[in-house]
Amino acid sequence: MATSTIAGISNPIPRWRGFNLLDYFSPLPPKGISPSATTEDDFRWMSDWGFDFVRIPMAYPRYIKFDLAKNVTPEDVLNIDEKVVDEIVQLIELANKYKLHVSLDLHRAPGYCVNAGFNEPYNLWKDTAAQDAFKFHWEMWAKRLKDFSRDSVSFDLVNEPSLRENMNDQFGERKTVPGAIYRKVVKETAEAIRKHNPSRIVVADGNDVGSSVIQEITDLDIAQSCRGYFPHYISHYRAPWVYKNPDTAPMPVWPGTIDNQHFGRESLEKFYAPWIELVKKGVGVHCGECGCWRETPHEVFLAWFGDVLDILTQNKIGYALWNFRGDFGVMDSGRKDIEYEDWHGHKLDRKMLKMLQKY
């Protein structure tokens, strides 16, 4: 697979462009057909519109067997449900049919998730049993997908790592994962994966919930994933999982002053500078998630996001919007301040699509 090169900048991984798919995002199975279930039409449209990438953020409880009426146990975590694994593989194959690279991601890994709402039996960053289970899951995927090429599938180890004491406190303090611990977890896991496919691209999300470069692993053959959510005042305006009281969220502007802080393109360039430097050092970088929740005024979103995508593109860093259809997406977002185009029964945000296609 060719590296991505532009204006003297060489990114060891391709400048993939696409979307996150939420089919396996929830730890519990949906009741009936989920509205977020990806269809073959979705893949066809992505490909026709010029995109080449999907990321599948998974909650590991979706593909294990456990008593849904009880908290999951360490023993349950190792009880793989092969039927659901087969379903996920079929989704990967369908994406590959339309020439879409698939990034398989543990959004909820054994012992860690950036979101609350599910009781974890241990802590990934503190407990050996959790780290062993983490390696077990990734080695299971490595064996199951060993014949899928480097061009077809990559592995994004754990979504938006951070350190917090109470996994069920959505608003609790988040701290930096100690670099030595993060290095140990990703190094050992990558080695377990590559026993089955030595060329597999392995990605580690940035520390501090995806925002900070992991300096401790830059010598390893592991790419890193940043985020397109800075500043959160714009990307997550009124989001109920960010604000205890969404009515306290300050009105976003771009460029301009929000909550007594000035934001504009220069602040974005400063935020992404460490990531750009990482690319220049020969480490692969991709932006695994980006976009705006539906409450951000659309014109503010487009002005801000145009700067984000322009900076990433100038430095040969690809991106994946969160999501395709839904609150952040190009279709069926529920935004109230735009005119949608009817697209085969869906509501298409054509302005947003054109911006994405530009980059």
Q: How far apart are CA 303 and CA 276, in angstroms?
A: 21
Q: What is the pLDDT of residues 29-57, one digit of tens each?
A: 988 888 779 999 999 999 999 999 999 99
Query: Can you give the pTM of this predicted structure?
Result: 0.95
Give the CATH number of the domain where residue 125 resides. 3.20.20.80
> Which of residues 164 and 322 earns the better pLDDT score?
322
Task: Please tell me the total count of domains within the chain.
Answer: 1
Report if residue 146 sits inside a domain: yes
Q: Which domain does 118 fall in, by range?
A: 4-228+266-296+305-324
pLDDT band at 174 (very low <50, low <70, confident <90, very high): confident
Rounded mean pLDDT, 247-268: 97
User: Percent of the chain scored above 70 by pLDDT?
Assistant: 98
Neighbouring residues of 163: CB distance < 8 A, sequence distance ≥ 6 = 125, 174, 175, 176, 177, 178
Structure tokens at 221: 């053959």
Q: How far apart are CA 224 and CA 272, in angstroms?
A: 13
Give residue for tokens 């659309």. 298
Report if residue 94 sits inside a domain: yes
Per-residue DSSP letter, 342: E
Report if residue 15 sits inside a domain: yes
Per-residue DSSP letter, 331: B
Question: What pLDDT was estimated at residue 3?
Answer: 63
Report if residue 333 sits inside a domain: no
Question: What pLDDT was estimated at residue 318?
Answer: 98
Report if residue 359 sits inside a domain: no
Report if residue 245 sits inside a domain: no
pLDDT at 353 over 70: yes
Report if residue 56 sits inside a domain: yes
Report if residue 80 sits inside a domain: yes
Q: How far apart are CA 55 and CA 151, in angstroms?
A: 14
Question: What pLDDT was estimated at residue 207?
Answer: 98
Looking at every residue in the chain, the average pLDDT score rounds to 95
